[in-house]
Structure formats: C-alpha cells, structure tokens
Amino acid sequence: MSNTAPILLNGEWKAAQHSETFTAQNPITQEALPGSYPVSTWEDCDAALTAAAAAADELAPTSSGQIAQFLRRFADLMEQHRESLGQLASRESGLPAEHRLAGREMDRTTDQIRQAADAAEQRSWKQISIETKRDLRSMLAPIGPVAIFSPNNFPFSWNTLSGGDFASAIAAGNPVIAIANSAAPGTTQALAELAFQAAQAAELPAAMVQLLYRLNHEDGKRLVADPRLGATAFTGSTAAGLALKAAADQAGKPIYVSLSSVNPLVFLPGAIREHGEQLVNRYSNVCLKGTGQFCTQPGLAIVIDGEASQRFIAAITAKFNAATPGTLGSQKTLDNLVQQINVLKQAGGKVISDAGQAPGAGFSHPNTLFQVSGADFLASPQALQTEAFGNTALFVVCQDVAEAKSVIDALHGQLAGGIYSSTDGSDAAAYNELAPRLRRKVGRFMNDKMPNGMPVSIGMVHGGPFPASGHPGFTSVGIPHALRRFAMLQSYDQVRPAHLPEELKNKNPTGNLWRNINGTWTTADIPAD
C-alpha cells in the first residue's frame, strides 16, 4: 500500500492524481522526514475547483454564525493539539517548538482566527449602504473559491490552512483550496484534518476546505486563471508570484501577492548620538532573529556619513560576526539566499562582515552585512534593493540629507519603513525632508521602532506599493480590513424586499449591525413607508 499522503478533496481524504512525489526535510539535520506527498496533476485541480464552486453556491444561504462557529472550533482544536503541532512544525521548519511555535505563534494564530470569527458574525466588514429614495442598496459579498499559496517562515500564522489569508477568506464566506508549502506538507496536512473536523461540526459544505500539496508551474498558472476561482492569495518568492500574477491578470482574476520588501530604516545622526548602543543591539537582534526569515526584516538601513555613523556600522558588524548563524527553513531558502547575495555583490555591495563565523546548524549561511555609498546605490538601485531573505542586511551611507532623499526616491514599494530621530530636535529638519518621501513608499510607517512585531489589529497594514504587495489598497493582516480582498461589491437596484439579502432589508438583522442609511451610519431599522 502506498505511503503517499492523501489529498483532501470534496470532503474526502483520497489518493491524488499525481505525476510525482516529494518529501520534506528537517532543516537542522538535513535528513528527509517520513512520508511522501503528491504533486497533483490538473485532474485534482479541476475536481477541487468544481467542488469549491458548488460549495460556494451552497454557502449562499449559510448563516455567518456557522462560519463563526467553524473558525472558533478550529482555533480550539489547534490549541488542544498545540504540542503535537508544534513538534511537527519544528521538524519541518527548524524553528523552536515550545516557545515559538506552540507558544507565541500558536497564540497569535488562534487569536487571528477568532477575530475573523467575530468579523464574520458581526458582518460590519460588508460596508452596507442603503439609499431609500433611489432604492439602491449595496454591500460586500463573497467572491467565490479562494486559492491560497503560503510561505514556511511562519508555519501556523501564515499557513495555507490556518494563516491570515485562510481566516479572512473563510470569514468572508468563501471555500478555500489550500496549496501547501512544499517545506511544510505534514504540518499543513495536520491542520487540514482539524479544519475539516471543525467544518463538519459546523455543517458547512464538504468542499469548504480542500488541500493539495504541490502543483507544477503550468498547473499553478492554470489554477489562478480558472473562471471558477474567485481570487488567489500568494506570499512567497518574487519569481513564482509574478508568474502567477501574470496568469491571473491575463484572465482578469484578482490575485493578492506579497513578493519583496527590504523595509528601510533611516538612522539620523542625532538618534545615533543619543541611543547608539541601544540601536546597535536592536537592529542586530532584529536582523538575525529567526535567521532573518521575516517579511518585515529591516534589510536596508540608511545613514548619513560621519564618525558616529561609521562607529555605528562597525558595532553592528561586530554583532553580526559574533552571532552564530541560525538555520534557514529549507535548502531552497538557502539556495535563494546565496543567489540574492550574489546579486548584491555583483551590483557593488561590499561585504563588511566576516565570513569565518562559527558555522550554523543545518541549512545555514554566514551572517552577511553589506555596505554601499549613496552614489553606488543610486547607480544600481534595483539590484541593491534585492531582498536577501535571511540573515543579511545592507547599509547605504549617504553624504548628506539630499543624497538620502534621492536614495529613498529610488526605492520601490515596501511593506514597512521608518525613521529614528533625536529627541532634542537636532534631526527635525532632516526628518521633515525625508519622512514625506518614505511615507509614500511604505504601507506601514514608523518612528523610532523596528518593523518586527506586527499585531493583528484593525489599525495594522501589511501591504504597500508594488512589489511589497500587488495592490496598495489592501492589507493581509488586520481584521476586518483583510476580508475585503476576498469580496465583491454588489449593488441591488430596486430589488423586491423578499429577494434582498437579510443585511439589506429594512429590518436590521442583528439589531446592532452598522449600516449606512441615507448617508448616516446607524444600527436602526428603516421605518416602513
């Protein structure tokens, strides 16, 4: 009997129609982990799309309460299995199980799922609008089946079966076709088992949650362009994301991509004078934490040249040299990092860290710190803002504020960025020149703060101008705003009351649902004529 893992298709765990199989690796020991996983052919994709489309039709009368019930039950089940899930995810990712995975990340993930449940139940995310004089009514409604591709740097909070994209797509009322990250197939399978159990308990359609482990490139592009699909969410490599985006764009299908961000930080001279040692520790720790495998890692730092700035860079270099390199999540992550570092070198980046550091465990690379002048950066701005996803960072040393302005102007879109400035006002003029320019480049702008640490809250934006994300008007973190990616705006023009969705009827369906009625936000019913 084959030991190839089954896929979850239309409510059944069944053998995949596959062309080949793959195995996951332990990043620390570099050994293959037990079990093999199928690379599905188009037959599986076609069946999943058909089932998901039927589930979307079946969901139309389904109450938001059932979806909320599903999400809350799923969060409960994850917490009940936190230790076993943490151990499994640790073997596949190399990340520590107890404190990181089964601890902080599990708590963040289940909190996000429960926030999504609340949003589904409350329905305020639908942005309901009613004009009684014209009898025009509109709201956001489910877009249809959603395909999700995810990274492996956060095995739970960004997983295709438990991350923010999953929680948002489900809360918006859409079935999900999850494509596992190839480095985390076992973790994703375990999460799918719990999600399917929770969906059954909530009496949701059989194909509400489906799982495939891997597709070839052509089938992936065909999937995101299929007419039966509502939208796609992708977080991962730029090359893969752009290939999927091109296919989806050509077919006119929404795709929300998160591709590349170096999250620039500007350290102004007064801030370095006031808090130099503290900033050295903070910046070094953030760049090397988790082996730099964070989409918010501040991979580019801008300083104004001077003795204090040079000492600042030298102290950070010493921190990079002294720290034992961490473990990267997979052989592919290591290969990509090496390739990205070579791009920086070829563009003129000067390595100032020592390659002779103590070796890290498993898939690892020496902590690598680059330095370039502002003029060198401006000569090759695209190459020198290549995201080196890992324990790597680049310092851009500008001659003056005017050159720093030019460097910021040459940046592409970023997820996050910020400025450290003095408290005595000595950096005020420089700040006022640089801040408006950096503000336009980033989704999340900060003062005196590192970009790590991203609470799931209504005020959070995890997006930004391309290529940080595919559209600057959306966020992948922050409930309820993240749900809007997986919705379509629907208008009802002089539709009979009996044919309206309950949210658009004269009587408020919950008694506390906020609706914009004739220009005023209110929870009141619309009085009968």
First to last CA, the chain: 69
Place of tokens 């994850």: 78
Examine the domain organization and report whether 179 and 317 are in the same domain.
no
Cα dihedral sign, 213-219-221-226: negative
Report yes or no on 114 lying in a domain: yes
Written as one letter, the residue type at 330 is S
Examine the domain organization and report whether 254 and 291 are in the same domain.
no
Examine the domain organization and report whether 313 and 238 are in the same domain.
no
Tell which residue, 208, 299, 311, 212, has the closest CA to residue 260. 299
Of 428, 447, 466, the position where a domain reaches its end is 447
Examine the domain organization and report whether 82 and 110 are in the same domain.
yes
Report yes or no on 215 lying in a domain: yes
Examine the domain organization and report whether 346 and 436 are in the same domain.
yes
Give the separation between CA 287 and CA 369, rounded to whole angstroms: 10
Hey, how many other C-beta atoms are within 10 angstroms of the C-beta on 104?
Answer: 11
Examine the domain organization and report whether 240 and 295 are in the same domain.
no
What is the residue-level pLDDT of the chain in tens, covering all 529 positions?
A: 368 999 999 999 999 999 899 999 999 999 999 999 999 999 999 999 999 999 999 997 778 999 999 999 999 999 999 999 999 999 999 999 998 999 999 999 999 999 999 999 999 999 999 999 999 999 999 999 999 999 989 999 999 999 999 999 999 999 999 999 999 999 999 999 999 999 999 999 999 999 999 999 999 999 999 999 999 999 998 999 999 999 999 999 999 999 989 999 999 999 999 999 999 999 999 999 999 999 999 999 999 999 999 999 999 999 999 999 999 999 999 999 999 999 999 999 999 999 888 889 999 999 999 999 999 999 999 999 999 999 999 999 999 999 999 999 999 999 999 999 999 999 999 999 999 999 999 999 999 999 998 889 999 999 999 999 999 999 999 999 999 999 999 999 999 999 999 999 999 999 999 999 999 999 999 998 7
Examine the domain organization and report whether 255 and 275 are in the same domain.
no
pTM passes above 0.85: yes
Q: How many domains does the chain have?
A: 2
Q: Which domain holds residue 190?
A: 43-122+133-259+475-482
Report yes or no on 13 lying in a domain: no
Report yes or no on 316 lying in a domain: yes
Beta-strand pair 146-149/231-235: parallel
Give the separation between CA 410 and CA 407, rounded to whole angstroms: 5
The structure tokens listed for 204 are: 């949701």
Examine the domain organization and report whether 201 and 310 are in the same domain.
no
515, 129 in Cβ contact below 8 A? Answer: yes
At residue 2, the pLDDT reads: 61
Report yes or no on 492 lying in a domain: no
Enter the DSSP assignment of 112: H
Examine the domain organization and report whether 293 and 160 are in the same domain.
no
Report yes or no on 1 lying in a domain: no
**Helices of type H across 60-184:** 64-80, 82-93, 106-122, 164-171
Report yes or no on 292 lying in a domain: yes
Examine the domain organization and report whether 244 and 374 are in the same domain.
no
Report yes or no on 509 lying in a domain: no
Examine the domain organization and report whether 308 and 322 are in the same domain.
yes
Helix (H, G, I), strand (E, B) or coil at 171: helix
Examine the domain organization and report whether 294 and 195 are in the same domain.
no
At residue 61, the pLDDT reads: 72
CATH number for the domain that contains residue 290: 3.40.309.10
CATH number for the domain that contains residue 137: 3.40.605.10
